[in-house]
């Protein structure tokens, strides 16, 4: 009779472990050997109880191993729902993007390369016209040389010159010719049509920028001019 009761209790523990494996609750329940509560239990009863307990504990241990691995995988962020390749998640809808406007470069016979940044409005400038413009001069590698606009306070000291190659470097004269009021152009001017003489404008008034300009006068220079 006692063996039947103990066997029934052990089987209940085993069934509880199997049911909890599917329900996702605490997957193990460890109990002391059932026959240990009775000193007068028979040897056969002890063997049956130990067998049932070992079987129950074996199932529980297997369940714990699976549960622990699942927890580790979840902790590492490996989730079967996230691993599912969904087009909506993998490729979010992006708004239509306009292609950037390509700025064309025109190469003049003198070797000057010109880009029209802003076209401007009004009549075009011609040879001999008196023009007013601001400019920024840089080396071909982008290093700053001088500017007619103060980089800190924005105040400008525009250049006022006639479009005459005897007063202005030839390369910049070619850049300004044909420009409209409000226009902006960027140009790479080779030294052959640049500062071939120290008397040609534009030349900065400050000693530092002027010295920097003449020290790089034999290099291609980038001018950005706007009227």
- 188 shares its domain with 114: yes
The answer to whether residues 226 and 147 touch, using CB atoms and an 8 Å cutoff, is no
Q: Is residue 46 part of a domain?
A: yes
For residues 86 and 152, membership in a common domain is answered with no
- Say if residue 172 is in the same domain as residue 195: yes
| 16, 18, 22, 25 alpha-carbon torsion, rounded to 10° | 40
Residue with structure tokens 């998640």?
89
Q: What pLDDT is recorded for position 96?
A: 60
pLDDT reported for residue 214: 96
Q: What is the pLDDT of residue 103?
A: 77
Question: Which tokens is 122 given?
Answer: 């009004």
Same-domain pairing of 110 and 217: yes
Residue 95 lies in a domain: no
Asked if residue 120 and residue 63 are part of one domain, the reply reads no
With respect to residue 211, please indicate whether it lies within any of the assigned structural domains: yes
The pTM of the full predicted model, rounded to 2 decimals, is 0.57
Which pLDDT tens digits describe the chain residue by residue (227 residues)?
A: 444 444 444 444 444 344 444 444 444 344 444 444 444 444 454 445 444 544 444 444 344 444 455 554 444 444 444 444 444 445 455 556 555 567 789 999 999 999 999 999 989 999 999 999 999 999 999 999 999 999 889 899 999 999 999 999 999 999 999 999 999 999 999 999 999 999 999 999 999 999 999 999 999 999 999 98
Distance (Å, whole) CA 63 – CA 25: 11
For residue 91 the two structure tokens come to 């490729």
Q: Does one domain contain both 74 and 129?
A: no
Report the 10 Å Cβ neighbour count for 140.
13
> Domain tally for the chain?
2
72 and 126 assigned to the same domain:
no
Domain end point (choices 65, 90, 115): 90
The whole-angstrom separation of Cα 81 and Cα 123 is 66
For residues 42 and 110, membership in a common domain is answered with no
Residue 140: inside a domain: yes
Instruction: Looking at the structure, tell me whether residues 77 and 109 fall in a common domain.
Output: no
Q: What is the DSSP string of 107-135?
A: E-TTS-EEEEEE--EEEEP-TT-EEEEEE
Q: Which helix (H) or strand (E) holds 160?
A: strand 159-162
- Domain finish residue from 36, 62, 90: 90
Both 34 and 122 in a single domain? no
Q: Is the residue at 149 inside a domain?
A: yes
**Shared domain check, 109 and 84:** no
Q: How much is the pLDDT for 9?
A: 43
Burial (Cβ within 10 Å: 0-12, 13-18, ≥19) of residue 115: middle
Task: For residues 86 and 109, state if they share a domain.
Answer: no
Please indicate, yes or no, if residue 98 is contained in any of the structural domains.
no
Read off the CATH number of the domain in which 181 is found: 3.10.50.40
* Residue 84 within any structural domain of the chain: yes
Indicate whether 99 belongs to any domain. Answer: no
Q: For residue 128, what are the domain limits?
A: 105-226
């Amino acid at each position: 009779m006692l063996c039947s009761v103990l066997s029934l209790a052990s089987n209940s523990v085993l069934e509880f472990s199997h049911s909890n494996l599917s329900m996702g609750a605490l997957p193990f329940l460890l109990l002391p050997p059932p026959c240990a509560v009775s000193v007068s239990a028979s040897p056969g009863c002890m063997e049956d109880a130990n067998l049932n307990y070992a079987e129950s504990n074996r199932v529980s241990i297997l369940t714990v191993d699976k549960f622990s691995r699942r927890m580790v995988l979840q902790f590492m962020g490996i989730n079967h729902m996230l691993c599912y390749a969904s087009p909506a998640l993998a490729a979010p809808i992006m708004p239509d993007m306009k292609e950037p406007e390509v700025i064309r470069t025109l190469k003049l016979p003198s070797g000057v390369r010109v880009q029209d940044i802003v076209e401007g409005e009004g009549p075009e400038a011609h040879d001999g016209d008196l023009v007013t413009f601001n400019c920024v001069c840089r080396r071909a590698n982008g290093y700053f040389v001088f500017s007619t606009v103060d980089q800190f306070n924005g105040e400008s000291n525009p250049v006022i010159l006639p479009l005459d190659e005897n007063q202005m470097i030839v390369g910049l004269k070619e850049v300004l010719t044909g420009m409209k009021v409000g226009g902006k152009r960027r140009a790479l001017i080779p030294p052959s049509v640049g500062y071939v003489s120290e008397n040609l404008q534009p030349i900065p008034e400050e000693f530092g920028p002027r010295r920097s300009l003449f020290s790089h006068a034999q290099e291609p220079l980038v001018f950005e001019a706007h009227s």
